[in-house]
Chains A and B, each alone.
Chain A
């Protein structure tokens, strides 16, 4: 079963509008972290925002905020006032508490390609 699901393969949004990128996750752990990464056309992975499973407040970083709904197991990324430079692939990822203090891997979704229209 997929642990991270991003149901929007692609989105087109008008510049200056807000955009929500969906992410749902599946875990039986109580402790986990959720991450969003941006991948521009140049290919690098840019960390955007983090939300911990025990965090009571939704995370915010500048124009990025994470709409965390624990009971629904969703962690949607909200970008306010979108800009042309926001056009990129966006990945949601989860880190679960490592078993036996071992692997700290990130499990990624399949990504959403966001295109901002002028």
Chain B
């Protein structure tokens, strides 16, 4: 079955500390991976997708097919990064499959 696992419900770091939000997926083919973010009282929005290979707001994520992982990283966390982060993937025509999310709390 296609599945996305985010093992941490909450990740709390201090401002300026590195951040890594973990994401593992189970799928035998080549999925397209995404990170979505939801700031307080805002709608869910795309943060980045693996095919773009971009850095958005200082975040990067590398697809590791061997480990079936797509961890989200940022070298120096900012308070405005506090939000819910969801890893997701889709395959071809299918809809996005989301993980259960990780709340990132960046303390001053």
The answer to whether A and B come from one shared complex is no
